Amino acid sequence: MAILIRKKPGIKSSEITPKSVYLDRRKFMKHSLATSVLLATDAMLPAWAKKWPDLADSKYSTKDTPSTFEEITTYNNFYEFGTGKEDPAKNAVNFDAKPWSITVEGECSKPGTFDLEDFIQPYALQDYIYRLRCVEGWSMVIPWVGFSLADMLKTFEPNSKAKYVEFTTLYDKSRMPGQKRRVLNWPYVEGLRIDEAMNELPIMAVGLYGDMLPNQNGAPIRLVVPWKYGFKSIKSIVKIRFTETQPKTTWNEAAPKEYGFYSNVNPDVDHPRWSQKKERRIGEPFWKPKIDTVLFNGYGDQVAHLYQGMDLVKNF
């Protein structure tokens, strides 16, 4: 089934598909659409049918082999759509991310509420292939489409009192059925220190594998902070607030001894329930040993300076 073959990220579609073939295939696609719709979801379409087929690759993208689209979209921690790993893929099918607006408030000169399209319009999208390390001891490599968080935040001109940035997920039980049960204190809130947020690595992601972000991955817009455990990378964001005090973040409030505000990936600081020394790279055969976890998830060159002089065991 040729139509299901995905392009390798980093290769522009124009490089692998001559124009004539491309047009032919477009025609073929039209004819086989009836069947292919049954077989493939949007994001599984070939490169040339995607929304952002050939973006530039970020210089911070890893060379690690990306996890497959299926892995990334069927194994999710997104409690707003259920607590099982397979729940979000099932329960988010009918989630409608339109219309979507984002409110920016707090310690800045240009607060406001913006329609999603207008909100992301000023920024240059890129492919960012980042490692994601979950606090539960597994990891993936994910080709996001997004833009720099720092660029975005600067637009709103945070003032000198803006010491932290707080993000909030949509709270709407009718659209996010997992919120009907109070497993967490909804809405989900996450936060970063302002210098962490202004670092060059964090992105606001709006896509995956060159196409729109699937619902179960945090559509329509989410944060990605690659040197921190996955739960810091909050999904389906509706509010961004600049604050003077440290935001009360959801997992930290739920179990302060287990989930710190910083939650930097650190093999030397174990979680009470999971050793953090090693991780299982999703997609590796199950009989292979786990791989070693690296401090700051391997992004130390970019972020270690943020924590100079800080006790990372105390500030876990």
Partner 1 sequence: MSLNPEDKTIAFVIKPILFTVCLVPFITLVIGAVNNTLGTNPVETMTHETGEWTLRFLLLTLMITPLRRLSGKSWLIKLRRMLGLYAFFYACLHFITYIWFDQYFDWMEVVRDIPKRPFITVGFTAFVLLIPLAVTSNNKMIRLLKKNWVKLHKLVYVIAVLGVLHFLWLVKADTLEPLIYASILLILLGYRAYYQRRKNI
Q: How far is the CB of 184 from partner 1 (least distance, A)?
A: 6
Q: How far is the CB of 137 from partner 1 (least distance, A)?
A: 9
User: Strands 237-243 and 101-106: what pairing?
Assistant: parallel
Phi/psi of residue 27, nearest 5 degrees: -60, -45
244 binds partner 1 (CB under 8 A): no
83 binds partner 1 (CB under 8 A): yes
Pair 189, 248: CB distance under 8 Å: yes
20, 34, 174, 289: residue in contact with partner 1 (rule CB under 8 A)? 289
183 binds partner 1 (CB under 8 A): yes
116, 138, 171, 300: residue in contact with partner 1 (rule CB under 8 A)? 138
Q: Which residues of 2-36 are buried (b: 16+ CB within 10 A; e: fewer)?
A: ebeebbebeeebeeebeeeeeeebeeeeeeeeeeb
CB closer to partner 1, 16 vs 282:
282
**H-run or E-run covering 133:** strand 126-133
124, 245, 286, 308: residue in contact with partner 1 (rule CB under 8 A)? 286
> By rule CB under 8 A, what string of x and - marks binding of each residue 63-82 to partner 1?
-------xx--xx---x---
| Binding window for partner 1 (CB under 8 A); candidates: 145-153, 156-164, 199-207, 271-279 | 271-279
The CB-based long-range contact list for 286-293 (8 Å cut-off, 24+ gap) reads: 290/137, 291/139, 292/267, 293/133, 293/139, 293/265, 293/267
Q: How far is CA 19 from CA 11, 24, 178, in A?
A: 16, 9, 45
The footprint of partner 1 on this chain (CB under 8 A) covers a number of residues equal to 27
* CA nearest neighbour of 59 among 263, 301, 221, 264: 301
Phi/psi of residue 183, nearest 5 degrees: -70, -30
40 binds partner 1 (CB under 8 A): no
Q: How far is the CB of 259 from partner 1 (least distance, A)?
A: 9
Q: How far is the CB of 75 from partner 1 (least distance, A)?
A: 4
Report d(CA 58, CA 106) in Å as an integer. Answer: 30
Torsion angle, alpha carbons of 149, 151, 156, 162, to 10: 60
6 binds partner 1 (CB under 8 A): no
HSE-CB of 45 using CA atoms within 13 angstroms: 23
| Binding window for partner 1 (CB under 8 A); candidates: 122-130, 144-152, 192-200, 272-280 | 272-280
| Binding window for partner 1 (CB under 8 A); candidates: 16-24, 145-153, 218-226, 278-286 | 278-286
Task: Summarize as ranges the residues that interact with partner 1 (CB under 8 A).
Answer: 70-71, 74-75, 79, 83, 85-86, 136, 138, 181, 183-184, 254-255, 270, 272-275, 277, 280, 282, 286-287, 289-290
